[in-house]
Structure 1
């Protein structure tokens, strides 16, 4: 049995679903804003606020998921709580999500708060980068603490988790470049949302969307592992019951023969 198999949580399933929907929404609205320069700005702001709220919910779902596998489902309640790095990652994810929500709300008065919006976006994306680092750190610590018997797990090309972490980091770096570029262009040239920034954002959206799909594949793999592990334990328990029943039957037969 793989020691890294943990009880599957549907909180992570819904977190992945929200992640996919949110990134599809960001890619769509960013593309529309790039193609149609005269797109209704107020409606666009409402969409961005809605998407930011989605990611606040998403961060909360991932935090609940951490609680489920790190605290509620841990095998020995007396042992210290593990997965501390993942908890820090959740905190950074929540922090980044709220900063993006604040910047989305300020966008309703963009002409007044452009600099603040870009600054909050910069803080938010740095928080997501910190999150990605702690997620990878926690993943590595887990494998060092409980090495997997599966050769396709760990820092190997066959592990979907590794690619999910890489894609998340790459997407965050792209967004960091876009946000930094937007901030520099605005402070030096007083230009808001130049085409280069929008293109970088759309590229980041694509990578994030692909990353969301990878995380969904990770969830499906974890669910398959958990189902197989549960079935294996059920069969072991069933065989044990059959063995005990057979032994009891043989004992009864011997007792009857002796009488």
Structure 2
């Protein structure tokens, strides 16, 4: 009976721990399109149009233009950027590409997805996708790991016939992410996320100078920047300690016996 109670308690603890882990594996909820979605794109990093995760942005341009958007990504998220380019009715073979850069303007490689695609002659549209690596809360200065902060999306054509240059096109871009959880947790965190101008804003807060509080990028995740201070690794660590204690109690219950000697020595 004691062993049964111990096992029941252990299974209950595992069930409670599985709840947060399952929640972390689901995609993060995105912003709904409520008619306020951006309808233009920037032409450089400094003029990139800000979008929230889960928000569909559209823009019109011409073949040969560079179109820029930016979105926030926090520690533990695995961002996915998808783009659809609608091409004119008459065009030759074209190759389109999306590139994603972090807050330091370092190009981030795609873990998987078709970031470069060629549209054959007469194709009405081309779809692109880039799944980044999981954003880490901290990294070595020499590493190129994704870090919390602003991410930039650049969409452009990289190969086309000279006669197609300047033709009108329209594009749709959407950024989403999946929360990975404790599997991607690391020790340490950044002092500030990689958001352009946030260091100036932090200095202004310390000095009380409101005139210096401008930030080049104002977007941030829902609930603010976590910088990796919490992950389900804390939950599993606590559950591991509880299970170890229960195992010790169960082992003691099995080995201690009835507590009475099996034989009573005769009186001398």
TM-score exceeds 0.5: no
Q: Which has the higher strand share?
A: 2
TM-score (norm 1): 0.29
Between structure 1 and structure 2, the one with the greater Rg is 2
How does the TM-score come out when normalised to structure 2? 0.28
